[in-house]
Structure 1
Amino acid sequence: MSGYFLPSYTLRGAAELITELGGNPAAVARQAAVPEAALRRPDIPLPARSIGAFFEQSAATCDCRTFGLRMSERSSMAVLGALWVLLRNAGTVRQMLEDFAANYALFTSAATVSLRRSGSGLFVCWDPAIVPARGSLQSVEYVLAVICSELRGFCPPGWQPAGALFRHAAPMQLDDHQRIFGPQLQFNQDCNALYLERDTLELPVNLRGSGARRMATAALRLEGGSPDRAATVRVEGIVRALLAFAPCTLEDVSRILGLAPRTLQDHLNADGHSFKQIKDAVRADLALKYVRESALSLSEIAEILGYAELSTFSRSFRRWHGQTATTLRA
């Protein structure tokens, strides 16, 4: 399934961090079956298992137990692409987290986000669906730390979650964990989660200025200028961001734009396009790029682009580019 891939943007800053820790980024990438180009380019689809293996291999190679935490300080939830913009338009932290859990499958099927109520608070749980042979400790700590960092943008100075829970055992040194998650740390638990109290959940989600809010609104809502032309441009951008990592249906894109599917299709039709045409054009462009520039097999490329059969992908590729993918790669 295409949902078991993640964008190489997830590895942003990894090469520099590994070098700072005395390691060789290219060697780590080879050991984790990650193409070296993924350390430089943000748009290469990578199997989620390989990204998890990369985190664990990096920690082992560099003898750095807190590699995932250090990576989180070089990253943000912007890795979620169009979904991140949707989250930033939520009214409150609670609504943002509800949107996060409800729509995370749009970004990837390689992990799950769930919410568990406890008293007046909420556990935000994250668990990988695919666990690399070396485990997922670094990935878990990375993701929870990135979520913490995002929440701090909406919280008072010095904010920490009311609790942080991990399935794995505690490290010997807790300084970095306490700096990021606060003092309420629990290990060997039945979930990986952050616990947020009601006061935090009711905080407004602020985009830090009217200019940023207007940009986010313009990116997702059909406001200003020609709504029909805007719809075509924005739908193409969302499809391009999501296609390699989710089924990316008309319903998915409509939900991100805050429109009914029929309304969105009407805007596209008025601009002389259809959702099917836009998705097909994006597929054609991504297919050519992946065949020319990536080390992915043709079967993997077909899977990423949502084709159940390699033969169906091959026929589409010939229709798009006048030759087979095999011929182009030869």
Structure 2
Amino acid sequence: MKPLARYAAIHGYVELSRSLGLDPVALIRAAGLDPAGLSAQDRWVPAASVADLLERSAADSGHEDFGLRLAERRRFANLGPLSMVIREEPDVRSALRTMTRYEHMFNESLHTRLTEHNDIATLRLSLDLGGPGESRQAIELAVGVLHGLMRGFLGPTWQPLEVRFAHPAPLDRRTHHRILGPHVDFDQDFNGILVYTTDLDAPNAMADPQLRTYAQQIVNAPRATPNTTTSERVRDLIELLLPTGRCSVDQIARSLGVDRRTIHRRLAAEGETFTSLVDSTRADLAEHMVASRRHALTEIADLLAFSSPGNFSRWFRTRFGHSPSQWRAAHPADRVRAAPDARPPSAPPTTEPG
């Protein structure tokens, strides 16, 4: 597969396009994307198609700053599950390192590298679209989003030392200076942002140390590598979609931009099936969620998309040899890592199945 990106990468696209007099639906279709897919932010699509959409939009609107304008509309939550992990890192440096390590979870084409030398930190960004194609707008979107993240950590008055772009300058630089600050240079040898290393030492005001272990569970380290297999992609989507009730092979195929037969074929080549992945993902989540005591057992049954608490209990007994309540009693919560959940910890308790 060519590199993929989530639809969340173009959050706010429809509103921005319309504000500039464009027809977003026509442009989305012209780029080979599905307009209806914009409502599913976690759906995967070819990154090259996203880049093409941005280039078409910039050309048709006459705004060379289209990608940067779109970056203004991005929110921290658009990073998906990764946003939870980044939010819980203790300082800006560790947050950025976590983001670069797991960035393939929201955009497989994006590569970010952090280096430090002589009190200056450099964040270099590059895109691999899997083939030839213009990427100016996608690069400016990525740099703008990174700049916005830094401001989120360091405050709205923070300014970088310099922002660099490898492409030529636009005719009008006002948007670039308004969003990125006064020190923006073009025709440079890389795309990225330069900051003082002391900025990276700043504590992350959003961090909650008690939630850090829970957040890191979402990006299971053994699976977090750029060379992601189809099985790993499917499993990540299963974790995201189970609590929504939309975890089907058809939905996941749409998210990956292929048909269901392609999913079945590629999983078979890796010795897996969709059913086996759903079952193993449920088992991993259930084992930790039952023992952690964060949720009532009836709630866990719902989070794992079982039709009833009774069905969950029977499945759990078959899988683990004990009922959920027996497993919970035998496994103290402090010995089990907290698992990803889809509802706030303050959700009201309900009657627990056996």
Q: Same fold judged by TM-score > 0.5?
A: yes
Partner of 2:164: 165
1:132–1:171 CA distance, 2 compared to 1 (3 A): farther
Check whether the contact 1:52–1:131 (CA below 8 A) recurs between aligned residues.
no
SS at match of 1:169: coil
TM normalised by structure 1 equals 0.69
Partner of 1:220: 215
Gaps of 5+ in 2: 279-354
Deviation readout 1:285-318 (Å, 9 max, x if unpaired): 3413245899733465458xx73749x67x6579
Check whether the contact 2:11–2:74 (CA below 8 A) recurs between aligned residues.
yes
Partner of 2:60: 61
Deviation readout 1:97-141 (Å, 9 max, x if unpaired): 122222323444312111122321111111101167551111111
Higher mean displacement: 47-56 or 77-86: 77-86
Partner of 2:79: 80
Say if 2:44 is the partner of 1:45.
yes
Distance 1:292 1:100 in 2: 26
The amino acid of 1:144's aligned partner reads V
1:167–1:307 CA distance, 2 compared to 1 (3 A): farther
Higher mean displacement: 138-147 or 96-105: 96-105
Paired residues, number: 269
Check whether the contact 1:160–1:180 (CA below 8 A) recurs between aligned residues.
no
Partner of 1:123: 122
The amino acid of 2:258's aligned partner reads L
Deviation readout 1:205-263 (Å, 9 max, x if unpaired): 111xxxx8489558527xxxxxxxxxxxx76x989xx99x955999x9xxxxxxxxxxx
Distance 2:259 2:185 in 1: 42
Q: Percent identity?
A: 25
Deviation readout 1:36-63 (Å, 9 max, x if unpaired): 1123332322111111111111111222
Check whether the contact 1:161–1:194 (CA below 8 A) recurs between aligned residues.
yes
Partner of 2:108: 109
The amino acid of 1:105's aligned partner reads H
Partner of 1:296: 258
1:81–1:319 CA distance, 2 compared to 1 (3 A): closer
Check whether the contact 1:59–1:65 (CA below 8 A) recurs between aligned residues.
yes
Deviation readout 1:39-96 (Å, 9 max, x if unpaired): 3332322111111111111111222111111111111343322222111112211121
Check whether the contact 2:163–2:183 (CA below 8 A) recurs between aligned residues.
yes
Check whether the contact 1:106–1:246 (CA below 8 A) recurs between aligned residues.
no
The amino acid of 2:215's aligned partner reads L
SS at match of 1:6: strand
Partner of 2:97: 98
Q: CA RMSD in A?
A: 3.9
Distance 2:179 2:105 in 1: 28
Partner of 2:267: 307
Cα offset, 1:19, TM superposition: 1.1
1:66–1:108 CA distance, 2 compared to 1 (3 A): closer
SS at match of 2:114: strand
Check whether the contact 1:5–1:108 (CA below 8 A) recurs between aligned residues.
yes
SS at match of 1:18: helix
Distance 1:187 1:319 in 2: 47
1:107–1:8 CA distance, 2 compared to 1 (3 A): closer
Which residue of the other structure, out of 247, 252, 264, is the alignment partner of 1:285?
247
Gaps of 5+ in 1: 222-233, 253-274, 321-330
Partner of 1:27: 26
SS at match of 1:98: helix
The amino acid of 1:16's aligned partner reads E
Larger Rg belongs to: 2
Check whether the contact 2:168–2:186 (CA below 8 A) recurs between aligned residues.
yes
Partner of 2:143: 144
Distance 1:318 1:89 in 2: 32
